[in-house]
Chain A
């Protein structure tokens, strides 16, 4: 039935190899067009798959089935334990297929304009294909090991795309930072996988997450390590991988720096798709978290809430527009994580799960739109800094309107998509934990504030700003994705998402909780109001406010010194305190012992090699000496 889903993976993979090998043999345009056509086919196939799945075959007896569209046994480890490569279709993976292929297609089209004339245009499209392949492989993974493989592939392609401008020092540093930080977190992920699969004797998602008679939970029952159950350790470690990829505290430090990459890449990887891999991971294993380790789920919720608050505060003070967006991404992903953390499993209890996926869906579109819009702005003024912008509404009409739509969506103003998903998250949090709700609620206000601070600083504020080159609207290939994504942002909030995605795969009804909805609209409007007052026109208020809360402002501006703490921990403690002594021990004691052995052997052989003179008389001398000694001994005894 779903055999046509295989090309969804195969096309981008082949495209990567093809474009990567041909590289400069092609004209830039040829590479770009080939890549885009490939992605177009992938997108169409994804849409067909989604349509088939949701409207014709997926729903059987009121439950969305998990369908294995393709499976290939790759490595057999033991009788039960084997690593497969395959395609698993269920509501969230099908939804992710749609999200990834849509955003990726838009980014492909957009990049024609944005990357026009860049050196390495062909390489850029090859890497985009690689990334799309890895991300699609990740979401359709049938087992956790396949997911891990693609998880790392995603990390690699992200690394190469962040470092796309490889002659720029900061880009190289950022790409290394992103790779090492996420790789460090992935180490815990791997340990978690091994731990869990050791007990469950399977990597397979379907048997791992089976809500009834879950073998994993039964087999690990009663086992504990250091006072915490083994399953909690495993699931916590697996979540650590998600913390790294999704840039939660304390592993968020790589994401703001990742903005060194080309802006369309930021839109694709660091806003819409890769960074939600952590959310997707938790959602994928949600039944295990909920049934087996509810305490880990609580930790997840709190990590999300704290991160969300932290990132929102930092976003208010940044001046690089892409960094503001990066922190807003962290904050929004933390929303999704929190929402998963407060969710239940069945029926309306599972609202948080549904809301999280819904927010993932809507966020992917409006955040990609924001990044692409920011890209159009950067394209026009050739700078990332807010101070270099202002009054651009006169020049960039389309960008202005689409950006405004995205800002309204992320701020949670109806009827834009962000409102619906955010409202569901707030409702879920409200019914579960009032502290988390307060945290998220406050964040909603902050989000509205910093997004409109960004918006006004770019498009209004200094209306009569003089530009050296008059900024001009981006070409059609760049505005088309903006318009398309803006349209999606306007309409996709009305999708009855709970009919399609839910924690137990059974459709249910949701209604907008108008009490909480109006409260969230209220706080968003307050945020927008304050931002309008402070930033709509050039004024002294922002500086005054910054002065009154100087301590908070400075530390938020420095991102609460997290980078410095990491540098301190890695450099002072790990490098100088641990690695150096170990290196010394290795060099002097371990190597010294081995060198000593070889030196001794060498010395002894140097000294004794003269015995082998090759002169027959020397040998005879020794022979006679030996014979005399033997005779002497025989005489004496």
Chain B
């Protein structure tokens, strides 16, 4: 079975823009964080696919993917810690309510 590269790219594009939409349209910080993960994973797919199809003998793309997964994990841990603190302070996690510093 030989899946063409475009199929992967279509999937990753859809994932990325779903992530963008979720990032822009949702107010809940957790959903925004999930959208962010979606975008990162779309990028991951791109990295692996391009590595697999364009430079089959090399591993650079895979390494980048692993790095991104690691950084994303760390980032999520950090973000959730912040979100929990926000929740403790203002009793919700809607992004448009986080405006204490503005006033």
Instruction: Kindly specify which of A123-131, A145-153, A518-526, A615-623 makes contact with the partner chain.
Output: A615-623
In the complex, A624 Cα to B21 Cα: how many Å?
A: 11
| Interface residue ranges of A222-271 to B (CB < 8 Å) | none
16 inter-chain pairs at a CB distance below 8 angstroms, sorted by A residue, are A614-B99, A614-B101, A614-B102, A615-B95, A615-B96, A615-B99, A616-B95, A617-B23, A617-B24, A617-B95, A617-B96, A620-B23, A620-B24, A621-B24, A624-B20, A624-B24
In the complex, A615 Cα to B24 Cα: how many Å?
A: 10
In the complex, A620 Cα to B95 Cα: how many Å?
A: 13
Q: Which residues in A have their C-beta under 8 angstroms from that of B101? A: 614
| Beyond known contacts A615-B99, A617-B96, A621-B24: 13 more, CB 8 A cutoff | A614-B99, A614-B101, A614-B102, A615-B95, A615-B96, A616-B95, A617-B23, A617-B24, A617-B95, A620-B23, A620-B24, A624-B20, A624-B24
In the complex, A621 Cα to B95 Cα: how many Å?
A: 14
Whole-angstrom distance between the Cβ of B54 and the nearest chain A Cβ: 20
Q: In the complex, which residue of chain A has the Cβ closest to the Cβ of B26?
A: A617
Q: Which residues in A have their C-beta under 8 angstroms from that of B24? A: 617, 620-621, 624
Whole-angstrom distance between the Cβ of B35 and the nearest chain A Cβ: 11
In the complex, A615 Cα to B94 Cα: how many Å?
A: 11
Please encode chain B, from 80 to 103, with 1 for each CB lying within 8 Å of some chain A CB and 0 for all others. 000000000000000110010110
Q: In the complex, which residue of chain A has the Cβ closest to the Cβ of B29?
A: A616
Q: Summarize A's interface: helix, strand, loop or mixed.
A: helix
* Size class of the A contact interface (CB-based, 8 Å): under 10
Interfacial residues, chain B to chain A (CB-CB below 8 A): 20, 23-24, 95-96, 99, 101-102
The 6 closest A-B pairs by CB, nearest first: A614-B102, A614-B99, A617-B24, A615-B96, A621-B24, A616-B95
In the complex, A348 Cα to B68 Cα: how many Å?
A: 115
Q: Which residues in B have their C-beta under 8 angstroms from that of A615? A: 95-96, 99
In the complex, A624 Cα to B22 Cα: how many Å?
A: 13
| Interface residue ranges of A603-637 to B (CB < 8 Å) | 614-617, 620-621, 624
Whole-angstrom distance between the Cβ of A635 and the nearest chain B Cβ: 15
Q: Which residues in A have their C-beta under 8 angstroms from that of B99? A: 614-615
Q: Which residues in B have their C-beta under 8 angstroms from that of A621? A: 24
Q: Which residues in A have their C-beta under 8 angstroms from that of B96? A: 615, 617
Q: In the complex, which residue of chain A has the Cβ closest to the Cβ of B98?
A: A616
Q: Which residues in B have their C-beta under 8 angstroms from that of A617? A: 23-24, 95-96
In the complex, A617 Cα to B95 Cα: how many Å?
A: 8
In the complex, A617 Cα to B96 Cα: how many Å?
A: 9
Q: Which residues in A have their C-beta under 8 angstroms from that of B95? A: 615-617
Whole-angstrom distance between the Cβ of B21 and the nearest chain A Cβ: 10
In the complex, A621 Cα to B96 Cα: how many Å?
A: 14
| Interface residue ranges of A311-346 to B (CB < 8 Å) | none
In the complex, A523 Cα to B20 Cα: how many Å?
A: 115
In the complex, A615 Cα to B23 Cα: how many Å?
A: 12
Please encode chain A, from 567 to 584, with 1 for each CB lying within 8 Å of some chain B CB and 0 for all others. 000000000000000000
In the complex, A617 Cα to B101 Cα: how many Å?
A: 16
Q: Which residues in A have their C-beta under 8 angstroms from that of B102? A: 614
Whole-angstrom distance between the Cβ of B2 and the nearest chain A Cβ: 29
Q: In the complex, which residue of chain A has the Cβ closest to the Cβ of B25?
A: A617
Q: Which residues in B have their C-beta under 8 angstroms from that of A620? A: 23-24
Q: Which residues in B have their C-beta under 8 angstroms from that of A616? A: 95
In the complex, A616 Cα to B23 Cα: how many Å?
A: 10
Whole-angstrom distance between the Cβ of A57 and the nearest chain B Cβ: 84
Q: Which residues in A have their C-beta under 8 angstroms from that of B20? A: 624
Q: In the complex, which residue of chain A has the Cβ closest to the Cβ of B102?
A: A614
Whole-angstrom distance between the Cβ of A451 and the nearest chain B Cβ: 85
Q: Which residues in B have their C-beta under 8 angstroms from that of A614? A: 99, 101-102
In the complex, A617 Cα to B24 Cα: how many Å?
A: 5
Q: In the complex, which residue of chain B has the Cβ closest to the Cβ of A621?
A: B24
Interface centre among A617, A620, A621, A624 (most CB of B within 10 A): A617
In the complex, A614 Cα to B96 Cα: how many Å?
A: 8
In the complex, A621 Cα to B20 Cα: how many Å?
A: 9
Whole-angstrom distance between the Cβ of A615 and the nearest chain B Cβ: 6
Whole-angstrom distance between the Cβ of B44 and the nearest chain A Cβ: 19
Whole-angstrom distance between the Cβ of A619 and the nearest chain B Cβ: 10
Q: In the complex, which residue of chain B has the Cβ closest to the Cβ of A616?
A: B95
In the complex, A420 Cα to B24 Cα: how many Å?
A: 108
Whole-angstrom distance between the Cβ of B3 and the nearest chain A Cβ: 26
Whole-angstrom distance between the Cβ of A626 and the nearest chain B Cβ: 13
In the complex, A616 Cα to B95 Cα: how many Å?
A: 8
In the complex, A620 Cα to B35 Cα: how many Å?
A: 13
Q: In the complex, which residue of chain B has the Cβ closest to the Cβ of A612?
A: B102
Whole-angstrom distance between the Cβ of A303 and the nearest chain B Cβ: 75
Please encode chain A, from 513 to 544, with 1 for each CB lying within 8 Å of some chain B CB and 0 for all others. 00000000000000000000000000000000
Q: In the complex, which residue of chain A has the Cβ closest to the Cβ of B101?
A: A614
In the complex, A614 Cα to B102 Cα: how many Å?
A: 7
In the complex, A616 Cα to B27 Cα: how many Å?
A: 10
Whole-angstrom distance between the Cβ of B94 and the nearest chain A Cβ: 11
Whole-angstrom distance between the Cβ of A25 and the nearest chain B Cβ: 57
Whole-angstrom distance between the Cβ of A169 and the nearest chain B Cβ: 58
Whole-angstrom distance between the Cβ of B102 and the nearest chain A Cβ: 4
Q: In the complex, which residue of chain B has the Cβ closest to the Cβ of A624?
A: B20
Whole-angstrom distance between the Cβ of A170 and the nearest chain B Cβ: 62
Whole-angstrom distance between the Cβ of A625 and the nearest chain B Cβ: 10
Whole-angstrom distance between the Cβ of B33 and the nearest chain A Cβ: 12
Q: In the complex, which residue of chain A has the Cβ closest to the Cβ of B17?
A: A624
In the complex, A138 Cα to B67 Cα: how many Å?
A: 93
In the complex, A620 Cα to B20 Cα: how many Å?
A: 9
In the complex, A617 Cα to B20 Cα: how many Å?
A: 10
In the complex, A103 Cα to B24 Cα: how many Å?
A: 94
Q: Which residues in A have their C-beta under 8 angstroms from that of B23? A: 617, 620
| Interface residue ranges of A461-485 to B (CB < 8 Å) | none
In the complex, A617 Cα to B99 Cα: how many Å?
A: 13
